[in-house]
Amino acid sequence: MKKSTGALLLLAMLAGCVSDDGGGSTSAPAVGSASDLSQFQGARAGQAEMGIQNLGYEAVRTQGLTTWWFNRSTGACAQIVTSNGRYSSVTMLPSGDC
């Protein structure tokens, strides 16, 4: 719980640090930006899911233990694989992959 709370706090602090690189909405968000979910890797899936939803993401597709999350307001897309109740892999993808 402590790790996921820290990750949420870090994401909240980074929200003001997002910059527009002019790359458009088809590229993956910059690592460390408010749209980047990679800090959720290793988090307990049940606890982190609410944090991801609070950041504006919604699950748009599921295949086995893999879920694709999309943030309609930012165009950010993430592929999250769950293993043993934790997010074992968090990959930010171009918006078109969602």
45-89 pLDDT, tens digit each: 988 999 999 999 999 999 999 999 999 999 999 999 999 999 999
Q: Is residue 21 part of a domain?
A: no
Residue 4 has what pLDDT? 43
The number of distinct structural domains making up the chain is: 1
Per the domain annotation, does 22 fall within a domain? no
pTM comes to: 0.68
pLDDT class for 34, splitting at 50, 70, 90? Answer: low
Residue 72 lies in a domain: yes
Tell me which residue has tokens 């504006």.
56
* 6 domain-assigned: yes
Range of the domain at 34: 2-14+28-97
How many Cβ atoms are within 10 Å of 45's Cβ, its own excluded? 18
pLDDT(44) > 50: yes
Query: Looking at residue 16, what is its pLDDT?
Result: 37
pLDDT number for residue 19 = 37
